[in-house]
Structure 1
């Protein structure tokens, strides 16, 4: 089976992890700090906070921004459930902004219209979580302008988008947001096995996220309610979590990060080849915004005849192609249905889902395997 996504583990990755296994630290030690420094340098951010997953990073990002009961967080319905769940963990309400079906990203037109209504009704969201779907950044210039105008915070969910850029700004520089979150799941562009990272240019946000990932504990006397008993002393100053990354995961991440540009370039080459080979078939790739560099986490096509999606999906599976679908709209999940969401509320996301297929795309995909994917897709569409 040709998987839709797959990690690329090389001997230098194995050696990096072995070096940690032979060291004094296995959990959160000096290698985590080195990974944070490497990642923040790669995306031009001042601070980076490593966590055990991107979901954890989203959660502590929301908490650091003060999201809680009585607040509402908006995000895209075209994403994995974690982009919405992180607000629910904080006791906040969730709402969605429909997408631009040509890109799969949040529609800034729909966002502006929804904000106008929210302002009149006195319910501006506490935060917006735009999702850089498939690796292509959302329109962050407009989102940043709206955030300043309406007074909400922005957390970029860049789980798909390490190595992407909005104009001259690498995703993660936080020029247009308060916090950006990355994922290092094995199907992502670089991996730590499981892992995530929150980056920010705000020292107070970084410090709070660091505490929250480690039980809310501090060794800073300035944050304590009494003088320390000694150098061993610490205090829990708020309710935190065990969201720490291990040195083992960080070592893998450092090694993988050294090949980030290589990975993104290979994905770009494969995407361009798909573009050429799929030309003339009754399907279309996502539109690409001018001046934006995608990280090409996913190669998503939209079928001209959505009624045939399941038939095409099953045919590809039968031909050994690990096709997938990204995503079932979050508001259609039973949990969110119980909160009052229903079919028809976000029609662009629902229509997008009905026609979407994700084709295999990863650095280890060979030209021969990619040709097989396209041949199998052509056969399915021509039957």
Structure 2
């Protein structure tokens, strides 16, 4: 089986992790701040806070921005459920903004129309979470302009997008957002096995997230409510979580950061080759916005003529039968049973639903060989013919 995604672990990665195992620190040691500094330096963000998953990063980002009961968060329906669940963890409400039919990202046009209606209704969102699907940045300049007009905060869900660029600047520099979130799951562009990171240019937001990831506790005397009793003293100042990343995971991530540009370049080479090999087949290939250099976490095609989903299902099953481990990213969140119980229904976001009926993620990872890629395309031809 050729999977849709796969981590790349080198001897250097293994040596980095073994060095931590032989050190005095397995967690809360020096590797986490080194990893944070490396990612902040790569992106140009002022601050980075490593955590145990991107879901955790989204949660503490919402908490740091004071999202709570009575508040509203909007995100894309085409994303993993964590992009929406983070609001519910805070007791807030969720709504969605339909996608652009070419980029599959949140549509700034749909966002503006929804904001105009929300302003009339007196129910504007406190936070908007644009999702950089497949690694391609949303149109962040347009979204930021709307944030300045309507007063919402922005969390970029860049779980797919580390190593990508928008308007010739790294995704994650937070020039258009309050906080950006990365994921380091094994199928993502670089990995810490499990892990995530929140970046910000706001020192106070970063300090709040750092405290929230560790039980809401601070040991910084400058932030304490009274002079410390002694060098052992700490204060719990908020109801935080245990979302810390270990030094073992940070060592792996730090080793992988050094190959990040090479990984993304290889993904682009594979995508260009897919584009050429798929020409003439009844599929829609991914469209890349000229302002964006995608991280290319995923290479998603759409099966033409698959409006009811049955054509896509037939091709998907045909590929799996032929040993190609394709996947679908994603079932629109509003169609999940939990969200239907909250009042969402089919037909609410037609562009997202049309995308879902046709989408298949083909294998995309740096160690995918050209012969394996040829095998994928040959299997796809057969499945389309069948």
Number of equivalences: 383
Q: Does 1:10 align with 2:13?
A: no
RMSD between aligned residues = 0.7
Q: 2:323 aligns with which of 320, 323, 326?
A: 320
Task: Confirm or deny: 8 A CA contact 1:223 1:237 kept in the other structure.
Answer: no
The offset of 1:286, in angstroms, is 2.1
Query: What residue number does 2:159 align with?
Result: 159
Query: What residue number does 1:377 align with?
Result: 380
Query: What residue number does 1:281 align with?
Result: 281
The offset of 1:227, in angstroms, is 2.2
The offset of 1:224, in angstroms, is 2.6
Equivalent runs, 1:61-100 vs 2, <5 Å: 61-100=61-100
Query: What residue number does 1:309 align with?
Result: 312
Query: What residue number does 1:202 align with?
Result: 202
Query: What residue number does 2:150 align with?
Result: 150
Task: Confirm or deny: 8 A CA contact 1:104 1:286 kept in the other structure.
Answer: no
Q: 2:334 aligns with which of 328, 331, 335?
A: 331
Q: Deviations for 1:298-347, whole angstroms, at most 9, x for unmatched residues? A: 00001112131111111101111001000000001111111111111011
Which ranges in structure 1 are unaligned for 5 or more consecutive residues? none
Q: Which runs of 4+ in 1 moved over 6 A?
A: none
The offset of 1:222, in angstroms, is 3.5
TM-score, with structure 2 as normaliser: 0.98
The offset of 1:220, in angstroms, is 2.2
Query: What residue number does 1:40 align with?
Result: 40
Helix, strand or coil at the partner of 1:176: coil
Query: What residue number does 1:49 align with?
Result: 49
Query: What residue number does 1:104 align with?
Result: 104
Q: 1:343 aligns with which of 346, 353, 378?
A: 346
Q: Deviations for 1:180-219, whole angstroms, at most 9, x for unmatched residues? A: 0000000000000000000000000000000000000011
Query: What residue number does 1:29 align with?
Result: 29
Whole-Å Cα distance in 1 between the matches of residues 336 and 76 of structure 2? 14
Helix, strand or coil at the partner of 1:343: coil
The offset of 1:382, in angstroms, is 1.7
Query: What residue number does 1:363 align with?
Result: 366
The offset of 1:121, in angstroms, is 1.1
Helix, strand or coil at the partner of 1:197: strand
Helix, strand or coil at the partner of 2:110: helix
Q: Deviations for 1:258-317, whole angstroms, at most 9, x for unmatched residues? A: 000000000000000000000000001122111310011000001112131111111101
Q: Deviations for 1:224-281, whole angstroms, at most 9, x for unmatched residues? A: 3332110010010110000000000000000001000000000000000000000000
Whole-Å Cα distance in 1 between the matches of residues 360 and 156 of structure 2? 24
The offset of 1:168, in angstroms, is 1.6
Q: Does 1:132 align with 2:135?
A: no
Q: 2:357 aligns with which of 344, 354, 358?
A: 354
Whole-Å Cα distance in 2 between the matches of residues 100 and 143 of structure 1? 13
Whole-Å Cα distance in 2 between the matches of residues 340 and 48 of structure 1? 36
Whole-Å Cα distance in 1 between the matches of residues 322 and 95 of structure 2? 39
TM-score, with structure 1 as normaliser: 0.99
Q: Identify the range of structure 1 (186-195 vs 167-176) with the bigger mean alpha-carbon deviation.
A: 167-176
Q: Identify the range of structure 1 (237-246 vs 218-227) with the bigger mean alpha-carbon deviation.
A: 218-227
Equivalent runs, 1:217-296 vs 2, <5 Å: 217-296=217-296
Query: What residue number does 2:168 align with?
Result: 168
Whole-Å Cα distance in 1 between the matches of residues 171 and 51 of structure 2? 18
Which ranges in structure 2 are unaligned for 5 or more consecutive residues? none
Q: Identify the range of structure 1 (51-60 vs 164-173) with the bigger mean alpha-carbon deviation.
A: 164-173
Query: What residue number does 2:186 align with?
Result: 186
Whole-Å Cα distance in 2 between the matches of residues 291 and 105 of structure 1? 14
Whole-Å Cα distance in 2 between the matches of residues 214 and 291 of structure 1? 38
